[in-house]
Amino acid sequence: MPKHGKNYRNKVEKFDRTVRYSLEDAVKLVLDSSFAKFDETVDIAMKLGVDPRHADQMVRSSVVLPHGTGKDTRVLVFAKGDKEAEAKEAGADFVGGDDLVEKIKSGWLDFDKTVATPDMMGTVGKIGRVLGPRNLMPNAKLGTVTFDLANIVKEIKSGKVDFRVEKTGIIHAGIGKCSFGNDKIIDNLKTFVEKVIQLKPSSAKGIYLRSVTLSSTMGPGLKLDTIALTAAVK
């Protein structure tokens, strides 16, 4: 069992990890328990009552957080012609076609999100084996295969978060920085949870939202009262 440092142990002693906390109390405690010298990310882990092995129970989408993520996301866009200029004007960090494909084939991966126009997907497919395993492949279901480059680039830059349920039925996501403060983290968390609840598959049986845990990058996790949380976001 891994040993935790003194700072971590001191923070854990201040609360009962067996308690299911209210949204407000959990956020306050998580922010108070952060101790790293850098601005820690606030992470959410949601255990869902779904079986991702079945296609009709896969929960995958994206959501724009009202206060962003606090992260400077580097966006790469595959486009040509007028769309290339549109992407650059919207704030994309890298824009191109075959030139970017060759660069990526050579090992360059200094970007966080990719977007492509539909007519460029044949080109992007050449590096699918590189982008796919890293969750960097443009995806129409996430809105990243589109001709509306201006909107999607601005959404990503302003705090668009992609998420998908893992094989274990858990969704992980970062919903902001500790420096945001209580109110902004609460707003972001409500928006994220509301989106996940909206995506409940009709074929999912039993309890959908089984557990929700909140933590900072280095801090301990706190479990939320899922019944109260569900009521708070509706």
Q: Can you name the residues that pair with 163 across neighbouring β-strands?
A: 61
What is the length of the chain? 234
- H/E element holding 150? helix 149-158
**Residue 22 belongs to some domain of the structure:** yes
What pLDDT is attached to residue 9?
Answer: 54
Residue with tokens 């191109």: 96
First to last CA, the chain: 39
198 contacts 22 by C-beta, under 8 angstroms: no
Domain count, the chain: 2
What pLDDT is attached to residue 21?
Answer: 95
Question: Model pTM?
Answer: 0.83
Nearest to 27 by CA among 202, 233, 180, 234: 180
What pLDDT is attached to residue 1?
Answer: 43
Nearest to 58 by CA among 191, 195, 230, 203: 203
Please indicate, yes or no, whether residues 93 and 105 belong to a single structural domain of this protein: yes
98 contacts 121 by C-beta, under 8 angstroms: no
Please indicate, yes or no, whether residues 140 and 169 belong to a single structural domain of this protein: no
Please indicate, yes or no, whether residues 148 and 119 belong to a single structural domain of this protein: yes
What pLDDT is attached to residue 106?
Answer: 96
State the sign of the Cα–Cα–Cα–Cα dihedral 168, 158, 152, 64.
positive
Please indicate, yes or no, whether residues 154 and 42 belong to a single structural domain of this protein: no
Which of 158, 186, 205 lies at the terminal end of a domain, its last residue? 158
54 burial class (0-12, 13-18, 19+ CB within 10 angstroms)?
Answer: exposed
What pLDDT is attached to residue 70?
Answer: 93
What pLDDT is attached to residue 54?
Answer: 94
Three-state DSSP at 79 gives coil
Which of 128, 158, 188 lies at the terminal end of a domain, its last residue? 158
pLDDT per residue, tens digit, the chain (234 aa), is 455 555 555 555 666 778 999 999 999 999 998 888 899 999 999 999 999 999 999 999 999 999 999 999 999 999 999 999 999 999 999 999 999 999 999 999 999 999 999 999 999 999 999 999 999 999 998 999 999 999 999 999 998 999 999 999 999 999 999 999 999 999 999 999 999 999 999 999 899 999 999 999 998 899 999 999 999 987
Nearest to 119 by CA among 93, 157, 81: 81
Which of 130, 158, 186 lies at the terminal end of a domain, its last residue? 158
What pLDDT is attached to residue 89?
Answer: 96
What pLDDT is attached to residue 10?
Answer: 56
What pLDDT is attached to residue 36?
Answer: 84
138 contacts 121 by C-beta, under 8 angstroms: yes
